[in-house]
């Protein structure tokens, strides 16, 4: 119960300084947009680049793997590897986003509120 009052007090303090909150949100947004992570599968045969906003920017397939797309079994394997690499990249992007938000919360002095705010993170 006491923790909830602390969170409410911290939120009230933030609402008084809307410019600080907006600047913080802008910093987080910029960091997320500029963050790039790479997911991979098949020992690096498939690599996917994902932004901090969970947007897939690039998919790279090792030429040796790509050369075998002629038969159905090879295509199915490639598709599975692409899905696996994409999911790996998205997981890494989520982790990077959480780290960015945690860093900003520390800078704003509201790190104690993070457990309550985690439900809002991607």
Report the CATH number that the domain containing residue 25 is assigned in CATH. 3.30.1310.10
> Exposed, middle or buried by CB within 10 Å (0-12, 13-18, 19+), for 102?
middle
Question: What are the φ and ψ backbone dihedral angles of 110, each rounded to 5 degrees?
Answer: -120, 25
Please give, one letter per residue, the 3-state secondary structure of 64-76: HHHCCCCCHHHHH
Expressed as residue numbers, the domain containing 37 is 2-120
Global pTM?
0.75
* Tally of domains within the chain: 1
Successive 10-residue mean pLDDT values, the chain, 122 residues: 61 74 89 96 95 95 81 86 96 94 84 62 52
């Amino acid at each position: 119960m006491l923790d909830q009052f602390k969170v409410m007090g911290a939120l009230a303090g933030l609402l008084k300084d809307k410019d600080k909150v907006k600047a913080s949100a802008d910093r987080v947004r910029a960091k997320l947009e500029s963050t790039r992570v790479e997911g991979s599968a098949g020992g690096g045969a498939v690599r996917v680049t994902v932004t901090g906003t969970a947007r897939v920017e690039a998919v790279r397939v090792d030429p040796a793997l790509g050369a075998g797309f002629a038969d159905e079994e090879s295509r199915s394997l490639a598709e599975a590897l692409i899905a696996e690499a994409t999911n790996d990249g998205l997981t890494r992007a989520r982790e990077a986003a959480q780290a960015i938000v945690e860093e900003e919360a520390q800078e704003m002095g509201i790190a104690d509120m993070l457990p309550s705010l985690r439900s809002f993170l991607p």
